[in-house]
């Protein structure tokens, strides 16, 4: 065994002395058990009836639901009915679901992130955020989810890829646990993840280039210009179109992920959900010494206005995220950006 089990980790160290530690531990344990059930479904692929089929309906946020989206949501909802969670806020439901108003925690979750990739055998995942209950959960069930990400007690994601892994933070660093069939448990594989600061990779969907605002175009133009450009360095582009897979790669190898706002209808405020996607990802990345913004502002300081609010999301190596922000605030602040490159780009004449 390369490290301690998830259960042992949750019961040890200074975290065990924090408020709600026992409730948080029980919740993470329940999520882990539900993730095992989701994993069983994903490994069977198309052998599961209706595995990748669309339900012909949209969720509350306008995305087409897959059958497995709904099944995963049901599995996680049922799992946390037996732990100290008062409220369940999910991508698949219009509003928060009240479970037990006397419990101390609220769980925000994307039960199956990246489900559009199900049939193509690309890694998908489950993203979650654990928050303290605020206000009266019986009369204002959504209120607990309208807290800035700085209030998160824990966050993480499961990734259903070549390994079933849990990336987790309790506010004391970011750790990665991999499920071991030999030991029948999640075993710690990385006890102190730190985003490499100098990676030469960026992740963005370049097919949307024509829709981006000028600062994003300039940043990507300079990356594509390579060693002959103002960055004086060659870059590689990566884009998996699975948030958990892109985040996992950046935690291990560094780089930067960009999903900016753009000019398309419905994309003006970004597309990543703040409460149950951007906030937990930002918490994990910051605890691994990286950074996460909405292009300029720190993600964790944004106060949500609704459970399903969308935001732009830029995260990864801290210096790279900060550079993206400088392109937005004032491109002239980038001292090495020569005028030679200021008015031309790879995709422009």
The active-site residue out of 201, 277, 286, 294 is 277
Q: How far apart are the C-alpha atoms of 313 and 119, rounded to whole Å?
A: 26
Query: Considering 67, 73, 92, 222, which one is annotated as catalytic?
Result: 92
CA 13 to CA 2: how far, in whole Å? 18
Q: Is 180 a known ligand-binding residue?
A: no
Instruction: Report the C-alpha gap between 40 and 55 in whole angstroms.
Output: 21
Active site residue 63: yes
From the CB of residue 56, how many other CB atoms can be counted at a distance below 10 Å? 7
92 is a catalytic site residue: yes
Is 205 labelled as part of a ligand binding site? yes
Out of 73, 113, 246, 294, which one is annotated catalytic?
113
Annotation marks residue 87 as catalytic: no
Cβ atoms of 315 and 301 closer than 8 Å: no
Supply angle C-alpha 43, 61, 76, rounded to 5.
40
Gap between the Cα atoms of 174 and 186, Å rounded: 15
Where does residue 220 rank: exposed (0-12), middle (13-18), buried (19+ CB within 10 A)?
A: buried
Helix, strand, coil shares, percent, the chain, to 5: 35, 25, 40
Active site residue 277: yes
Question: Binding residue per annotation — 58?
Answer: no
Is 135 assigned a ligand-binding role in the annotation?
no
Quote the CA–CA distance of 5 and 20 in Å, as a whole number: 20
Active site residue 69: yes
Which residue among 73, 91, 142, 201 is the active-site one?
A: 91
- Residue 192 counted as an annotated binding residue: no
Residue 107: both structure tokens together: 């769980």
Q: CA–CA separation, 48 vs 42, rounded Å?
A: 9
110 is in an annotated binding site: yes
Q: Which of 67, 69, 286, 294 is an active site residue?
A: 69
Identify the active-site residue in 6, 41, 75, 110: 110
Q: Which of 63, 100, 185, 191 is catalytic?
A: 63
**191 assigned binding-site residue:** no
Residue identified by tokens 């582009």 is 237
Residue 189: which residues within 8 A CB-CB, separation 6 or more?
2, 3, 165, 176, 177, 178
Question: Cβ distance 266 to 258 under 8 Å?
Answer: no
Please say if 188 is a catalytic residue: no
| Residue 184 to residue 327: CA distance in whole angstroms | 48
Annotation says 112 is catalytic: yes
Binding site feature residues for substrate: 113-116, 205
List the catalytic residues.
Answer: 63, 69, 91-92, 110, 112-113, 277
Binding site feature residues for Mg(2+): 91, 110, 112-113, 277
Binding site feature residues: 91, 110, 112-116, 205, 277
């Amino acid at each position: 065994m390369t490290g301690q089990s998830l259960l042992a980790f949750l019961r040890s160290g200074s975290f065990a002395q924090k408020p709600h530690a026992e409730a948080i531990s029980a919740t993470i344990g329940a999520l882990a058990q539900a993730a095992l059930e989701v994993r069983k479904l994903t490994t069977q692929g198309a052998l599961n009836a209706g595995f990748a089929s669309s339900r012909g309906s949209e969720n509350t946020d306008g995305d087409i639901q897959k059958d497995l989206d709904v099944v995963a949501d049901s599995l996680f909802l049922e799992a946390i009915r037996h732990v100290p969670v008062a409220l369940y806020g999910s991508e698949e439901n219009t509003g928060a679901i009240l479970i037990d108003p006397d419990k101390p925690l609220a769980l925000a979750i994307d039960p199956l992130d990246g489900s559009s990739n199900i049939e193509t055998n690309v890694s998908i995942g489950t993203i979650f955020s654990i928050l303290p209950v605020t206000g009266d959960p019986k009369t204002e069930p959504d209120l607990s989810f309208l807290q800035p990400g700085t209030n998160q007690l824990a966050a993480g994601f499961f990734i259903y890829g070549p390994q079933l892994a849990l990336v987790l933070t309790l506010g004391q660093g970011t750790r990665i646990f991999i499920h071991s069939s030999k030991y029948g448990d999640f075993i710690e594989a990385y006890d102190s993840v730190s985003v490499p600061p100098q990676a030469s990779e960026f992740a963005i969907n370049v097919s949307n280039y024509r829709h981006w605002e000028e600062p994003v175009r300039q940043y990507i133009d300079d990356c594509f210009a390579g060693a002959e450009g103002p960055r004086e360095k060659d870059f590689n582009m990566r884009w998996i179109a699975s948030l958990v897979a892109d985040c996992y790669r950046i935690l291990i190898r560094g780089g930067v992920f960009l999903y900016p706002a753009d000019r398309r209808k419905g994309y003006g405020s970004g597309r990543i959900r703040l409460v149950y996607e951007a906030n937990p990802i930002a918490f994990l990345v910051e605890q691994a010494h990286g950074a996460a913004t909405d292009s300029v502002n720190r993600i964790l300081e944004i106060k949500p206005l609704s459970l399903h609010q969308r935001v732009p999301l830029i995260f990864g190596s801290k210096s790279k995220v900060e550079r993206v922000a400088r392109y937005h605030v004032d491109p002239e602040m980038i001292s090495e950006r020569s005028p030679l490159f200021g008015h031309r780009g790879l995709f422009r004449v």
